Structure 1
């Protein structure tokens, strides 16, 4: 997982460098909002798998849904890393909290 968080930090740095100039507050807000955009793409892929839109038909696979879910997770990791300097620790603490609360 250490390699994953290092990659997330590299993505944050890349976004900080390559995005249009904006305040850090706006950058963080846009990164959090991006999670909703990616979640919408998961919903679109599920509709495509299920043929939920008769006009579009069944144009996606479950592999597409998996890829879109990965985008949601990665986008959330980038947003978290944009909010706190120790995103990995914060995430691990939260996973432990949820596991303790849910699994006992």
Structure 2
């Protein structure tokens, strides 16, 4: 599946490498699973930030008012995608291929074969 933007995966690999080199030891869970668990949990945090930004952009929090813009929502959605891809890369070194295969299956299921 060579039609994926290599810059995205290069950036994900760079961020994954940086995070991996700056992580504390995984003494609480065996086999380094703590990093994976925390990266998956980070998704919930990022999705919450999307929700907060949407509520703020729609001026639906009477306590905070119009606290966000739609550009903030875009930024938070990008953070969700980046965090998910880093979690996938933490789970498997074949993240690019796993994602491409899954995307193709979802595309075919929704749109039919090419």
Query: Structure 2 length as normaliser, TM-score?
Result: 0.88
User: Which aligned segments of 4 or more residues in structure 1 are displaced greater than 6 angstroms?
Assistant: none
- Over the aligned positions, Cα root-mean-square deviation in angstroms equals 0.9
Q: After superposition, give the CA deviation of every residue in 1:18-63 in whole Å (9 maximum; x if it has no partner).
A: 1222252000010011011000000000010111110100111100
Structure 2 regions of 5+ residues with no counterpart? none
Partner residue of 2:48? 40
Higher-helix-fraction structure: 1
Secondary structure of 1:64's match? helix
Partner residue of 2:32? 24
Rg: which structure is higher?
A: 2
Secondary structure of 2:72's match? helix
Residue 2 in structure 1 maps to residue 20 in structure 2:
no
2:32, 2:21 → 1: CA distance?
12
1:43, 1:18 → 2: CA distance?
29
Query: Structure 1 length as normaliser, TM-score?
Result: 0.96
